[in-house]
Amino acid sequence: MVGDKGSSPGFAQATRDFLNWFQALSGATLHNEIAIEDLRGQGRGRGIIARTDIEPGTVLFTIPRGAIICAATSTLKYKIPAVFNLENGDDNSEDEGDGSSSSQQDSWTLLILIMIYEHLQGDASRWKPYLDILPSSFDTPMFWSSTELSELQASALVGKIGRTEADQMIQTKILPIIRAHEDVFFGPHSQQLDDAQLLELAHRFGSTIMAYAFDLEKDDDEKDAEGQEEDDEWVEDKEGKTMLGMVPMADLLNADAEFNAHINHAEEALTATALRKIKAGEEILNYYGPLPNGELLRRYGYVTPKHSRYDVVELPWQLVENELRERVGSTMSPSDWERVKQLAQSDEEFEEGFVLERSSEDPDSTGQLHSDAAFSGLPDELGEQFKTFLKAVKKVNGNAELAVQALSDRDARKELYLQTVLATLHARERQYATSLEEDERLMNAAEVTERQRMAVWVRRGEKQLMREAQSWVRRELDELQNKASQRRQVGDDAPAAKRRRM
């Protein structure tokens, strides 16, 4: 859900002004039978709805590239060319150490600077009606209080919010540029802002870019390394290499794991087309990718039931190690165990944690999914690291019986592995303050706020996945036991058969 400070009439007027502005753009098109609607009642801000049935392949709207806010279109680059790397024409501009050189900027920080500049231009910005419909507050965890964050419990999402890193990026890359060019950012009519206000503005536009901006450099027929066609996605470009831009109208589309529209990138314009028949009254939906709900919440500030199929749980190796030690190293001294750890960690493949996820098909070319996702196995790398650890145990203590046996007998190792993982999954589940069952109850409780409900949804999804993983491990253990008892039966029968033959 996106916040907008305006009251309802302001909201509707801003939508109308934006529509008029958009339709007057040279090269822009908008299908007559689609409408921007106020979906705040459903917690989805604005969205685009079909007013009549729309046939597959129909062009919904076209955005000329010149209407996108990006480094190529904003006049800011002519005012502070050094920051945009235009003076030397290459990447070797001098680093002034104050954030003013291009080498310190990336596509994120440049777009934040552009958005702050255009915002401070007020009526003078050619994107004013578009800027007026962008959100001024967000439901992403970056803006949650510590009490709200505590509702995420043991979710790995907590460690990924990155408020401190964002603050630091703004302090080192955004504020020094604005302070060094106050005449550019604060025109004769605009109000001066202090550092705290600028910090808030930079956070606001950083979050806007996270939830709205487009990667502009992909072509329709671009292929990834495997030769597969890549989707044009709303991206988080952490390395800052691709040009990001704010694309009016395209970013009014909400999204889900099943969707019905696609944005094509062509030379002169971006075009939204219907992927299948869209019925009158249906919302036109884009796709942000196969994201778990935790990631959807972190980047976009919402969760959906359809994204649950992509949920993940992070299993820290330390938890696996604790369980393994109990089983194979309980008689080892702390210093011997330390040697085991050092040996295992010296392996260059060593991982601090492993991600559990379900197997899921990709949406088809019309944006639809046809089967449920299911947990179907542990990561291979986890099994390999488990074996590496067993080898290290054997090296340090050749008498560690269980480890030695597990290394020479495949089934014994599999059983030890599965038992250890099962115990780890229980331990991981205990790190969350409430049970899955309590969360199920909370989902329907009246007193729960929207942010709390989203946090419960994320942690509940992770617990559900852990339960599925536990059932899978139990089934594997049962199979192993059945196999062993069948072998015992064959073994018991064998001498009898032999006797008969004799």
Ligand X SMILES: C[S@@+](CC[C@H](N)C(=O)[O-])C[C@H]1O[C@@H](n2cnc3c(N)ncnc32)[C@H](O)[C@@H]1O
Q: Which stretch binds ligand X (CB under 6 A): 45-53, 56-64, 323-331, 397-405?
A: 45-53
Please pick, from the candidates 33, 44, 218, 325, the single residue that binds ligand X as defined by CB under 6 A.
44
Kindly state whether residue 458 participates in binding ligand X, applying the rule CB under 6 A. no
Rg (CA), the chain: 28
Q: What is the DSSP string of 201-266?
A: HHHHHHHHHHHH-EE----TT-B-TTSPBPPP-----TT--SPEEB-TTGGG-EE-SS-SEEEEE-
Kindly state whether residue 45 participates in binding ligand X, applying the rule CB under 6 A. yes
Identity of the residue, 254 or 424, whose beta carbon is nearer to ligand X in the bound complex: 254
For residue 39, the one-letter residue type is L
Kindly state whether residue 206 participates in binding ligand X, applying the rule CB under 6 A. no
Running DSSP on this structure, what letter comes out for residue 246? B
Instruction: Output helix, strand, coil percentages for the chain, rounded to the nearest 5.
Output: 50, 10, 40
Kindly state whether residue 84 participates in binding ligand X, applying the rule CB under 6 A. no
Q: Which residues of 476-487 are buried (b: 16+ CB within 10 A; e: fewer)?
A: bbeeeeeeeeee
Put residue 301 in one of left, alpha, beta given phi > 0 → left and psi -120 to 50 → alpha. left
Kindly state whether residue 1 participates in binding ligand X, applying the rule CB under 6 A. yes
Kindly state whether residue 294 participates in binding ligand X, applying the rule CB under 6 A. no
Please pick, from the candidates 43, 66, 81, 379, the single residue that binds ligand X as defined by CB under 6 A.
43
Shortest separation between residue 163's beta carbon and ligand X, angstroms: 18
Kindly state whether residue 304 participates in binding ligand X, applying the rule CB under 6 A. yes
Q: Which stretch binds ligand X (CB under 6 A): 53-61, 147-155, 247-255, 468-476?
A: 247-255
- Pairing type for strands 59-64 and 269-274 reads antiparallel
Kindly state whether residue 141 participates in binding ligand X, applying the rule CB under 6 A. no
Q: For tokens 């098909």, what's the residue?
A: 361
Q: Which stretch binds ligand X (CB under 6 A): 91-99, 175-183, 197-205, 248-256?
A: 248-256
Q: Which stretch binds ligand X (CB under 6 A): 97-105, 301-309, 378-386, 448-456?
A: 301-309
Q: What is the DSSP string of 64-131?
A: EGGGSBSTTT-THHHHSTTTTT-SSSSS-----SSS-SGGG--HHHHHHHHHHHHHHHGGGSTTHHHH
Q: Which stretch binds ligand X (CB under 6 A): 260-268, 273-281, 300-308, 419-427?
A: 300-308
Q: How far apart are CA 228 and CA 225, in angstroms?
A: 7
Shortest separation between residue 7's beta carbon and ligand X, angstroms: 16
Please pick, from the candidates 14, 177, 202, 252, the single residue that binds ligand X as defined by CB under 6 A.
252
Kindly state whether residue 47 participates in binding ligand X, applying the rule CB under 6 A. yes
Please pick, from the candidates 106, 256, 321, 439, the single residue that binds ligand X as defined by CB under 6 A.
256
Q: How far apart are CA 414 and CA 471, in angstroms?
A: 16
Shortest separation between residue 322's beta carbon and ligand X, angstroms: 38
Kindly state whether residue 212 participates in binding ligand X, applying the rule CB under 6 A. yes
User: Is residue 54 within 8 Å of residue 33, measured between CB atoms?
Assistant: yes
Please pick, from the candidates 108, 300, 375, 389, the single residue that binds ligand X as defined by CB under 6 A.
300
Shortest separation between residue 298's beta carbon and ligand X, angstroms: 11
Question: How many residues interact with ligand X (rule CB under 6 A)?
Answer: 18
Position of minimal CB gap to ligand X: 45
Identity of the residue, 84 or 300, whose beta carbon is nearer to ligand X in the bound complex: 300
Please pick, from the candidates 118, 215, 232, 251, the single residue that binds ligand X as defined by CB under 6 A.
251
CA 97 to chain centre: 32
Grouping H, G, I as helix, E, B as strand and the rest as coil, residue 34 is strand
Identity of the residue, 45 or 294, whose beta carbon is nearer to ligand X in the bound complex: 45
Please pick, from the candidates 111, 202, 209, 255, the single residue that binds ligand X as defined by CB under 6 A.
255
Grouping H, G, I as helix, E, B as strand and the rest as coil, residue 410 is helix
Kindly state whether residue 302 participates in binding ligand X, applying the rule CB under 6 A. yes
Taking each helix axis as running N to C, give the angle between helix 380-396 and helix 410-430, from 0 to 180 degrees, rounded to the nearest 10. Answer: 110
Q: For tokens 């990709």, what's the residue?
A: 362
CB atoms within 10 A of CB 100: 20
Shortest separation between residue 41's beta carbon and ligand X, angstroms: 12
Put residue 281 in one of left, alpha, beta given phi > 0 → left and psi -120 to 50 → alpha. left
Q: How far apart are CA 271 and CA 305, in angstroms?
A: 28
Kindly state whether residue 211 participates in binding ligand X, applying the rule CB under 6 A. yes
Residues engaged in binding ligand X (CB under 6 A): 1-2, 43-47, 211-212, 251-252, 254-256, 300-302, 304
